[in-house]
Structure 1
C-alpha cells in the first residue's frame, strides 16, 4: 500500500505544486479555511510537525506564522516540491508515517496532518508516534475523508467495514489510481480517543467564494459532507 500511495503522489506532485493552490476549491475554499481556523492564533516559536505535507502549502503557512516547522511526506517528489516552496524556512523530510518517527520524545507543540490518514490502514501506528513526539498538552489537528462521502465509493456497501478502495483522479489529462482506506465514523473517533482527548469534531462547510466559483458543488457539499476535521489534545 505504501508504495502505491508513494507512486500516486509522485504522479500528482506537479499538479499539487502548480495547480491545487489556485484551482482546487475543495482545498482552497473548503478544507484549508476550516483547518487554519482551528490553529492557535500565536504560533511564534512553536514547534510544528506537518505530517504529510504534499507540496508544502501548510508548511509555508505555518512558517509564515512564526512556527518552527518540520514537514514530512512519503513522496520524494512532493518533498522536492515543498523544498522549492519553503526554501530554508522549514526542515523537510521524506518518510513513512507508519514507521517510527526520527524525532525525540516530546519534540512538538502541534501536529498538523491534512488529508493524510485515510491512506493508512492502521491508525494506531502513526497515533502512537504522534503521541510520543507531542509535548504534554500538545495539539493534534487532522483532516480526513468523511465516512459519508467514502461510503458512496464502497464496493461492499458495508458502512461498518474498514475497506480498501482505489479512486481515480483525472489530473493534467491523465487518470491516476489513488488508493485509500475507508472506515466508519465510530472507528475514526474511537481510534483517536485511545491516544488523545478529542476537543472538537468539525464537518466543514464551503466558503462563499466556493459558492461563486462552483455553485453546483457548493450545494452538494452543504448537504453531503466531504471531509472531517478532528482537533485533539495530548493529556499529561
Structure 2
C-alpha cells in the first residue's frame, strides 16, 4: 500500500480518527503536549491527513501549512480548515515544494512507519526547518512488532500489513518495522538530535469504554514519540 491508497478510504479513516482511542485520545493529545506553546510559530504538518492536528495547532495560535500524498485527504483537510487553507498534495518521498528554513517546527504524525527509506524524507524535513527548529513525530512503537510477531526478527527492517475496520469498512495498511537503534541512527544521520522520547498514557479525559478492560492504571503502549532538534 502507498500513502495515496488512502484515497480509497479517506472518509472512513477520517471518521475513525475523530473519536477513537489511538488517535483522538492518545496520539493527537501527546503531539499537542510536546508541541507546547505554538503561538505565532510557522508549523508544517507533514502527512496532515484530513487536518485534525493542523486544526488543533491553528486553534493554539500557530500558522500551519499541511501536505499529504492523498488528494482525497487534502480535500477533507480543506473542508475542515477552509478553502483558503495552505494545504498541498505532496509526497514525503520526493522533494517538497517549500523553501529552505521556512518553518519553526514540523509535525509528522504517524507517517514515517509507512516508508522503507527514511534518509530522503528526513533530509527534506530538516531542509525546510529553521536552524534549531523542531521535528515532532510519532511512529508505531517498535516493541509492538516484537509483541505481535514474536517469531519475527525484531532487528530486521521488515514490511508487514494489517487489517482494520474503519467506519464499518475493512482496510489494509502496510508498514515498515525498524528496531529502535535504526530509528535513532536515521535521526542522527539526517542531522537531528533527540531532545525528547515519550511513551505516554492515554489522555486523562479518555472515555472509560474506549480503554482496554484489562488495562492497568496508566499502562499503555502503542506509539513512540520524539522531539528532534535540527543542528
Q: TM-score when scaled to structure 2?
A: 0.92
* 1:178-222 deviation line (CA, Å, top 9, x unaligned): 111011011111211222011000012112333613342671795
Alignment partner, residue 6 of structure 1: 4
Q: State the match for 1:52 in structure 2.
A: 47
Q: Would you say 1:182 and 2:198 are equivalent positions?
A: no
Which of the residues 58, 73, 85 maps onto 1:90?
A: 85
Contact 1:197 1:233 in 2 (8 A): yes
Q: Distance in 2 between matches of 1:60 and 1:36?
A: 11
Note the 1:150-169 alignment, pairs <5 A: 150-154=145-149, 157-169=152-164
**Counterpart in 2 of 1:39?**
35
Distance (whole Å) between structure 1 residues aligned to residue 58 and residue 83 of structure 2? 10
1:99 pairs, out of 73, 83, 94, with 94
CA shift in 2, pair 1:211/1:221, >3 Å: farther
What is the aligned counterpart of 1:205 among 189, 201, 208?
201
SS state at 2:43 partner = strand
> d(CA) in 1 for partners of 2:141 and 2:213?
16
For 1:122 and 1:33, the matched residues in 2 are separated by: 28
**Conserved in 1, the CA contact under 8 Å of 2:13 and 2:167?**
no
Contact 2:112–2:139 (8 Å) recurs in 1 = yes
Unaligned runs of 5+ in 1: none
User: What is the RMSD computed on CA atoms of the aligned residues?
Assistant: 2.0
Across the two proteins, how many residue pairs are aligned to each other? 230
Contact map agreement 1:59 1:90 (CA 8 A) in 2: no
Do the aligned partners of 2:12 and 2:169 also contact (CA within 8 Å) in 1?
A: no
Deviates more, 1:9-18 or 1:170-179: 9-18
Match of 1:231 among 223, 227, 230: 227
Pair 31,133 (structure 1): closer, same or farther in 2 beyond 3 Å: same
Contact 1:153-1:165 at 8 Å conserved across structures: no
1:127 match = 122
| Range with greater deviation from structure 2 (144-153 or 69-78) | 144-153
More helix by share: 1
- Give 5+ residue unaligned stretches, structure 2: none
- SS of 2:45's equivalent in the other structure is strand
